[in-house]
Amino acid sequence: MNIHVDEKLLLHLESLAKVELKAEEREKLIKDISKILDYMSLIDELSVDGYEEMFTPIEENLELREDRQREFEHTDDLISLFPERESRQLKVPKIY
């Protein structure tokens, strides 16, 4: 894995994510992403020959708790904290 992270790539990612970063944030993010990708390259070089695949480190069968419906007692308190609402529903910005 040899991905070069530069301002052009980050600007493209910003447009895909519909975010806008300040120049200093962009510089820091370029360094951080580069470090992460360098670390991933190191991991990619590791040999895992001879190791059995493992999807979870827990070998025992865990018993799940039963789902129970219960009344939330502070609904009105919670609704009063909504910055914007329509009736009793939280109003959020439109997602494109």
* CA–CA gap between residue 35 and residue 32 (Å, rounded): 5
Q: Residue 87 falls within a domain, yes or no?
A: no
The pLDDT, as a whole number, for residue 1 is: 62
Q: How far is CA 54 from CA 46, 51, 58, in A?
A: 16, 9, 9
Q: What CATH number is attached to the domain comprising 40?
A: 1.10.20
Alpha carbon distance, N-terminus to C-terminus of the chain: 32
* CA–CA gap between residue 13 and residue 19 (Å, rounded): 9
Split into its structural domains, the chain has a count of: 1
Q: Residue 25 falls within a domain, yes or no?
A: yes
**Domain limits for position 3:** 1-46
pTM: 0.52
Q: Residue 38 falls within a domain, yes or no?
A: yes
Kind plus residue range of the DSSP H or E element containing 62? none
| Segment-wise mean pLDDT, segments of 10 residues, the chain, 96 residues | 88 95 95 94 91 80 87 91 90 84
Q: Residue 68 falls within a domain, yes or no?
A: no
